Amino acid sequence: MRRRTLVRTTVAAGSLALIATVAPAATADTRAAVPVVAERAVSADRHGDDDDDDHKRSYKSVGYFSQWGIYGRNYHVKNLQTSGQAAKLTHINYAFANVSPDGKCFITGPAGEADPWADYVRPVDAAGSVDGVGDTWDQPLAGNFNQLRELKAENPGLRNLISLGGWTWSTHFSAAANTAAKRKSLAASCIDIYIKGNLPVDGSRGGQGAAAGVFDGIDIDWEWPGSAGEDDTPYTPEDKKNFTALVKEFRTQLDAYSRSEAKRTGSKPKRYDLSAFVPTAPAKIDAGFEVRKIMKDFDWVNLQGYDFHVSGEKTTAQQSALFARNDFSVHQTVSDWLKRGAPAHKLVVGMPFYGQGWTGVSGGGDGMGQPAQRPAPAVHQAGFEDYKVLKGLAESGKYKIHRKYGQAWLFDGTTLWTYDDAKVLNAKTDYIRARGLGGAMFWSLDGDTDEGELVKAVARGLKR
């Protein structure tokens, strides 16, 4: 899956090129850094505004649910409820919606480009349903969307966002955003399907308003405006200003729809959330994002907090460290967005629920920064493993656990996995609170344990 740079169940070849072209040169001392305790001394209102008082904050806890997880991983919307994750989340980002070559959101299409069966057609039986009631043949909404609706009913205050694009499905963003007319068309098409809920008819499923009320906003996941993403994703220097204009268009249309619905129903206007997933590399930030401008229209952005190094590289390295010297890190990412004018309270820190792994590691020591032969074997995809599996490895006694400066890794002398465990996430939540940041985001919820260990650890750390 994209792990934010990978999608579905295959490695995007371009992701390795992405890291290689933007990563600072790794050194033998990439793990040395400022300790967490020093960062706690930083004033929380240094970059924020009047809601930065920690005791008055309401932190966001955003989890990505992958559309395709219902298949090989057998992870369903109901798992969010039974694990206790839903009760600790503020937002669920449903990944992903696709953009067509003609620049519009679409929900039905060729295999691998859309999956209406998973989204709203598939009947869910009583055992698999959030509310314990099975779908009937004639109801207009079934599948994941209906389960998300039921999940909100069980968890008042929980909000669902549709996430547009992702690593694989960002192909047509650049063309779709390059004129005002195209931007207006793209935003209108996405709002029509996912906010108004107007779904294509598929047998008894779909129709006008069938999915109304399921989604409470839109997450823009264009990877990346103005710089390289997957191999087949075009980009141009004009993407930077076009992205700003696209964000403005989404904000304008969401607000207009809210006002029209309030007038029609006589209710208070609803605030539709607008967010984005944004990169860690300074070069990519500068190539694609007019930070001060876009942050006026976004409610928040989810910072890439992982895939700093990936298992396709020839040397083991951290993938999600809080601090690092001469390398990517969470602290570096936060600092770079703050320097460019992003308000602290609108920065949500991405956290991985998976690990990057290498095998054939030589050089001894603790295994970090050493040559490796290939990605480590894993359940679904070599080099990438869910936290719930890595937890079992850590408890097996075969591996030694290392933790330093907001990162963890397992090493048995041959195989190394770098990942975030509950102790690492506790350090990261300390950091979020100390810096007055907006909260935490997780890719992806299906990597957590059946008991929702990681989501609950972050909730405790943020005192949600």
Q: Point out the residues that are catalytic.
A: 223
Helix axes 330-339, 422-435, angle to 10 degrees: 20
Cα 46 from chain centre: 26
**Contacts (Cβ under 8 Å, ≥6 apart) of 453:** 387, 391, 422
The residue behind tokens 């003609």 is 102
Nearest to 288 by CA among 274, 304, 299: 304
**If residue 388 lies in a helix (H) or strand (E), which one and from where to where?**
helix 387-395
Q: How far apart are CA 66 and CA 73, in angstroms?
A: 10
Question: Do residues 262 and 269 touch, judged by C-beta distance below 8 A?
Answer: yes
Pull the structure tokens for residue 438: 């907006």
Q: How far apart are CA 276 and CA 298, in angstroms?
A: 8
218 forms beta bridges with: 162, 274
Q: How far apart are CA 412 and CA 359, in angstroms?
A: 10
Q: How far apart are CA 92 and CA 70, in angstroms?
A: 16
Q: How far apart are CA 133 and CA 401, in angstroms?
A: 44
DSSP string, 70-118: GSTT---HHHHHHTS-GGG-SEEEEEEEEE-TTS-EES--SBTTB-HII
Residue 168: C-alpha distances to residues 97, 244, 343 (Å) = 11, 22, 29
Residue 163: C-alpha distances to residues 98, 109, 292, 363 (Å) = 9, 18, 22, 42
Q: How far apart are CA 122 and CA 140, in angstroms?
A: 11
63 forms beta bridges with: 92, 442
Nearest to 305 by CA among 275, 350, 347: 350
Q: How far apart are CA 189 and CA 209, in angstroms?
A: 14
Nearest to 4 by CA among 197, 249, 284: 284
Q: How far apart are CA 146 and CA 60, in angstroms?
A: 24
Nearest to 246 by CA among 103, 367, 385: 103
